[in-house]
Structure 1
Amino acid sequence: MSGKTRSWWGWGNVEDAVTGAERADITRRTAEMLPGADLSVHEAPPVEAFGVGPSRVQAPPGLASIASADVRDRLAHSHGQAFRDVVRALLGQLPHVPDLVVRPTSENQVVHVLDWCSGADIAVVPFGGGSSVVGGVEPRVGDDYAGVVSLDLGAMDQVLEVDRTSRAALVQAGVLGPHLEDQLRPKGYTLRFFPQSFEFSTLGGWLATRAGGHFATNLTHIDDLTESVRVVAPSGVIESRRLPGSGAGPSPDRMFLGSEGSLGVITQAWVRLQDRPRWRAGATVGFVDHAAGVRAVRALSQSGLNPANCRLLDPVEAFINAGAPTAVLVLGFESADHPVNASLERALELCRDHGGTLTEEPRHTDSTDLAARTGAAETWRNSFVRMPYQRDALASQSMIVETFETACTWDRFDALHAAVNAAARDAMRQVGAEGVVTCRFTHVYPDGPAPYFGIYAAGTWGRTVEQWDEIKQAVSEALISSGGTITHHHAVGRDHRPWYDRQRPDLFAAALQAGKKVLDPAGILNPGAVIDPLRTH
């Protein structure tokens, strides 16, 4: 990312935004899909137009050198990267702005920040890469605090130690995905964890949100790659023991994985590494009947073959992203130890058993160079990386382009799929936004898939946030009522709280709140995310 400028209002780098022929192409395809859409382009207002007031708090002398009150900096830390975040920025509506952005360079400074904020009744919102899509980094904490600090861990970004014998590494939490891989690559290792936000998200963010990576089966969540964590809470420092596994009571790691900075600030972790893959094999399979594709993926997930990529796109998703007229399964295998051609061949046999047909010849590579990858799978990968940029472009053209994801058991998928489609379509009609609903599988397990739904709808400029919120409300109700989870890998934040509160058992919520009271007595850590603090003043 050297030499590029990070956008303060939207996804990624300014230089990588959708322009020119790419903008013209997605506008044309959108107009063909939704002929009545108003696709006029709206630009982000200047920073000065937001009328951000002065900071309500001042950092103590020992922290002043790492604190920023710059307006652009504060605005960039006032939101995540959900559709509603981007549109509100385009409309000049970012009402919740941190008073300071503080960038510690050491764990000791994190301790000092939490001590200061606990004593001064200042809310602290931990911030990694800022890619949250659920309101997890938005300083929407209410009026019960003297101020809000955005605690940006980006300066703590080093691989501190590599244990070659155990194939693990001690890594600081603020490292962005590419910088982590750059540090591991010369040693022949990879974390093998590539969420869509990879370029602009951090290890600490992945841990705090229990993020899901790119790979469809086997070691799909960051939980699977975590050996131990170290956390700074207002009450003290907690570090779990490095172990390959343990049956010694409830896991301390599990308490903090997914806690979204509400219980403590993850500063570093030991993570399990992988040898860099050398052998790859992939194919693209078409299914005229989407339901047959679902049955094929279920067979694959229960076969023990563990494909690295097993993404089933329904016909609408396949058309939008690949121009394909049928459901498409992007299938891939990889290994650092042995060729995987036999695994691919067996997987293709399973697909043929369910009516699948190859849309191109299988691909085989023998190289650690990712540039050697070709074919439809690489086309999908490139599209996958560009999706957030294209989402921003369409959002500026009054389109509602957003996703919601879940997981359910295989026996419930058909009913959940139907309920979500019905809820989304009905909600789009209710808000006057003509559009389509898509579905793809991002991850699959022997006992169920993780469906990832997309909305592409023609909204009304100035109302698209409200239109989306109503669609999101209807779909979230359908997910919970159909036995799914409110989120498979996007976290809870503030936006998913109403449904997460219903999903988790009440006694567990009480136990979690009691734990927060011990770890964060003043209730300053990310208030409103995951669980509310018990305020005593």
Structure 2
Amino acid sequence: MQRRRRKFYGWGYEGDEVSSCEIAEFERAWARLLGVSNFEPAPFPRAEDISLRTPRVPIPDALHAICTTDHHERLYHTYGASTVDIARAIRGEFDNPPDVIAYPDTEDDIVNLFRWCEDANLVAIPYGGGTSVVGGVNPPSQDRCRGVVTIDMQNFDKVLEVDHRSQAARVQAGVLGPHLEQQLKPTGLTLRFFPQSWEFSSLGGWVATRAAGHFATAYTQIDDHIESLRVITPAGNIEAKRFPASGAGPNPDRMFLGSEGALGIITEAWVRLHRRPTHRTMTSVRFVDYERAVEAVRVISQSGLYPANARLIERAEAAYTGSSDGTYDILVLGFESADHPVDVWMERALNICGDFGGTWDESALRDHDVSSDADTKSWRDKFLRGPALREHAIVRGVMRETMETAITWDRFQQLHAHVKDETHHAIRVVTGRAGSVTCRLTHIYPDGPAPYFTWFAYGDKKRIPEQFIAIKHIAEQAIVDAGGTVTHHHALGRDHRPWYDNERPELFCSALRAAKKIFDPCAILNPGILFDPS
């Protein structure tokens, strides 16, 4: 059972409240964006008012100690954390809940759960922190199985070993971000990996979804943090040898990075760590010409400076968060190091920005206080609070979605214009009203950026899931049509799978099918995530 119960219809723990002042502030922002003068929120659902189908399979006596059919646990594990998930939960739609929730304590427990699922023709859904926004932990809709067992890895939550000399640690995969950093703190080391979902997402989830953290260039993809993995599959266990690098054939760990629980359950990882930074500097740079701002970011990405933050935020989004008056775009720019002062790196990056018309507050920069820049602080605070406000937006009819991609620099401007135009059109057609579509660059690479589109629309509270899906489908198709990847760091899940089918080579899909047949011969693990089940 969960140590502290999470909400079954939204973000955070039961009892966590958003203040009336904060809700009022966001209502004013939504009103400005969407032209709505009055919001009448629908009520949040109560667990006791929702009926679930009776579990379709009994728990074997040998597994009773680690399994439950508790009502709240089944509600909570039905959905992830996407807008459509939360909207359906608020509407009380729990037509396809898991039948049983398992909390294994050991790898032997996982093996026993696999054997049960194989013998009884059950689907097994590996479950990390439950923060998937693409349907990655939702039970499949196919009726090819007798039932669904969700395997929650929360008990695998320890740092098992720290190699100080190599700056690495062996960590159990179920650990959530805060507990991981709490255990590492006495060592002076840190994973320094902070996705927006950090508070509730797990190391295993980051690996299985190829997640990316906040840092723009320094500690971006989880791929680069992995030395080796230990994975339990229905066919046996795999543990790669630990090296800083190797040229010995294909890397076995890469098979499971991004596998989303379809090939096995990750139980441990050796991860690369960093010394905690002691030198930091951050500021915001203002640009009145967006295209020149993009060029500044491109030059920085190719300069070898490797900023920890380089987020270019369009003026409309900056105005929404109170970081701009709407007449300029802002670049949140930061550097950090555990070894040396970073002022010279910042000075060079600002010189580049100045070449493209950027301006900044010299006095805030001289303070060496990363929280002294008002524009940066305002945007960051609103960004971090976004997930906690999602259910409050939905009950007011406000739909918000973020769609990220990656594309080469030569094609960015075309993608930027096409996605915004198509999404604006989709919002108007689906809702009959204008909406808001903005873009920020969250991660930058020498060969291209990761654009992160955010759209808001005001919908019919009774039809939010249907309207949301219609808009998202058009917007995602626009990204793919313009040459972007379907996802930079939100993974595939069931929501992005259709576009992945066209993105990956068909022959590679055949290889994936063959790998699944070997690792998971009875096809019990998260069917439909990487390809349609046969």
Shift of 1:14: 3.7
**AA aligned opposite 2:373:** G
Corresponding residue for 2:414?
415
Correspondence 1:48-59 to 2 at 5 A:
48-59=48-59
1:17 CA drift (Å): 3.5
* Alpha-carbon separation, structure 2, partners of 1:193 and 1:516: 29
**Aligned pair 1:225/2:237, yes or no?**
no
Question: 1:527, 1:533 within 8 Å by CA — same for their partners in 2?
Answer: yes
Matched, 1:157 2:165: no
**1:170 and 2:170 matched:** yes
Does the Cα contact within 8 Å between 1:279 and 1:336 map onto a contact in 2? Answer: yes
| Counterpart check, 1:388 vs 2:387 | yes
Which residue matches 1:332? 334
- The 3 A distance-change label for structure 1 pair 364 and 141 is farther
1:414 match: secondary structure: helix
Q: Which residue of 1 aligns with 2:302?
A: 302
Return the offset for 1:306.
Answer: 0.3
Distance 1:229 1:347 in 2: 37
Q: Secondary structure at the match of 2:61?
A: coil
| 1:307–1:372 Cα change, 3 Å | closer
| Pairing 1:199–2:199 present | yes
Compute the displacement of 1:440 (Å): 0.6
SS in 2 for 1:457: strand
For 1:409, give the aligned amino acid.
T
Query: Which residue is equivalent to 1:254?
Result: 254
In the alignment, which residue of structure 1 is the partner of 2:404? 405
Kept after mapping to 2: 8 A contact 1:286/1:359: no
Supply the distance in 2 between the matched residues of 1:276 and 1:63 (Cα, whole angstroms).
42
SS in 2 for 1:434: coil
Partner of 1:64: 64
Q: CA deviation at 1:241?
A: 0.9
- C-alpha change, 1:364 and 1:156, in structure 2 (3 Å) is farther
Q: CA deviation at 1:54?
A: 1.6
With normalisation by structure 1, the TM-score equals 0.96
Alpha-carbon distance in 1 for matches of 2:310, 2:475: 25
Unaligned runs of 5+ in 1: none
Contact 1:281 1:362 in 2 (8 A): no
Matched residues in 2 for 1:38 and 1:483: separation?
39
User: Is the Cα contact below 8 Å between 1:406 and 1:485 reproduced in 2?
Assistant: yes
What amino acid maps onto 1:343 in structure 2? W
Distance in structure 2 (CA, Å) of the matches to 1:255 and 1:195: 22
The answer to whether the Cα contact below 8 Å between 2:415 and 2:479 also exists between their aligned partners in 1 is yes
Q: Report Cα offsets for 1:207-233 as digits up to 9, x if no partner.
A: 000000010003310000000001001
CA distance in 2 between counterparts of 1:427 and 1:518 reads 43
8 Å CA contact retained: 1:141, 1:527: no
Q: 1:53 to 1:442 in 2, by over 3 A?
A: same
SS at match of 1:361: helix
| Correspondence list, 1:110-121, <5 A | 110-121=110-121
Kept in 2: contact 1:117–1:124 (CA 8 A): yes
Cα RMSD between the aligned structures?
1.7
Match of 1:356 among 355, 358, 377: 358
Deviation per CA, 1:313-335: give whole Å up to 9, x if none: 00111111134021110000000
Contact 1:439 1:454 in 2 (8 A): yes
- Residue 359 of structure 1 deviates from its aligned partner by 4.5
> Could you say what secondary structure the match of 1:63 adopts?
helix
Q: Distance in 2 between matches of 1:532 and 1:168?
A: 37
Structure 2: runs of 5 or more not aligned: none
Shift of 1:120: 1.2
Matching residue of 2:344: 342
1:504 and 2:504 aligned: yes
Question: Structure 1 residue 13: deviation in Å?
Answer: 2.6
Q: Which whole-Å CA distance do the structure 1 matches of 2:305 and 2:521 have between them? A: 48
- Asked if the contact 1:433–1:460 (Cα under 8 Å) also holds between the matched residues in 2, the reply is no
Structure 1 distance, partners of 2:392, 2:293, is: 31
Aligned to 1:492: 492
Shift in CA distance, 375/262, structure 1 to aligned 2, threshold 3 Å: same
| Number of equivalences | 529
Contact 1:38 1:398 in 2 (8 A): no
Deviation at 1:95, TM superposition (A): 1.9
For 1:149 and 1:201, how far apart are their aligned partners in 2?
Answer: 20
Contact 1:281–1:333 under 8 Å retained in 2:
yes
d(CA) in 2 for partners of 1:491 and 1:37? Answer: 36
Q: Contact 1:420–1:479 (CA<8 Å) still a contact in 2? A: yes
**Per-residue deviation at 1:365?**
7.6
User: CA 1:305–1:65 in 2, change beyond 3 Å: closer, same or farther?
Assistant: same
C-alpha contact 2:282 2:370 (8 A) present in aligned 1: no
Q: Which moved more, 1:147-156 or 1:14-23?
A: 14-23
- 1:307-326 to structure 2, matched below 5 A, reads 307-324=307-324, 325=326, 326=328
Q: C-alpha separation between the residues in 2 aligned to 1:37 and 1:134? A: 31
Cα distance per residue 1:153-196 (max 9 Å; x no partner)? 00110000001121110000000000000000010010010000
Matches within 5 A, 1:429-508: 429-431=428-430, 432-508=432-508
Deviation at 1:141, TM superposition (A): 4.0
The verdict on how the C-alpha distance between 1:81 and 1:50 changes in structure 2, with shifts beyond 3 A counting, is same
Quote the Cα distance in structure 1 between the aligned partners of 2:475 and 2:481.
Answer: 10
Match of 2:435, SS state, is strand
Cα pair 2:168 2:273 within 8 Å, conserved:
yes
User: What is the distance in 2 between the residues matched to 1:339 and 1:264?
Assistant: 43
Counterpart residue number, 2:179: 179
Query: 1:73-109 CA distances to partner (integer Å, 9 max, x unpaired)?
Result: 1010000000101111111112220001100011111
- Whether contact under 8 Å (1:69, 1:99) holds in the other structure is yes
Quote the Cα distance in structure 2 between the aligned partners of 1:141 and 1:118.
19
Range that drifts further, 389-398 or 279-288 = 389-398
Structure 2 letter corresponding to 1:250: P
Q: Tell me: CA distance 1:16–1:271, structure 2 relative to 1, closer, same or farther (3 Å).
A: same
Question: 1:120-160 deviations in whole A, cap 9, x for unaligned?
Answer: 11100000100000000001241111110010000110000
**Residue pair 1:282, 1:364 contacting (<8 A) in 2 also:** no
11-20 or 82-91: which moved more? 11-20
Contact 1:190 1:275 in 2 (8 A): yes
Q: Is the 8 A contact 2:9 2:45 kept in 1?
A: no
Residues 141 and 465 of structure 1: CA distance in aligned 2, closer, same or farther (over 3 Å): closer
| TM-score, normalised via structure 2 length | 0.96
Deviation of residue 527 (structure 1)?
0.9
- Contact residue 279 and residue 364 of structure 1 kept, 8 A: no
Amino acid at match of 2:429: Q
In 2: Cα distance, 1:268 partner to 1:436 partner: 42
**Residue in 2 aligned with 1:521?**
521
Matching residue of 1:145: 145
Distance 1:146 1:191 in 2: 41
- Aligned counterparts of 2:181 and 2:383: Cα–Cα separation in 1: 19
Q: State how far apart, in whole Å, the 2-side matches of 1:197 and 1:266 are.
A: 19
Cα deviation code 1:284-335 (max 9, x no counterpart): 1011111111111101101100000001100111111134021110000000
Give the 3 Å change call, closer, same or farther, for CA 433–254 of structure 1 in structure 2: farther
**Which residue in the other structure is 2:373 paired with?**
375
State the Cα distance separating 1:4 from its structure 2 match: 6.5
1:408 Cα offset (Å)? 0.3
Q: Secondary structure at the match of 1:494?
A: coil
Cα deviation, residue 373, structure 1: 4.1
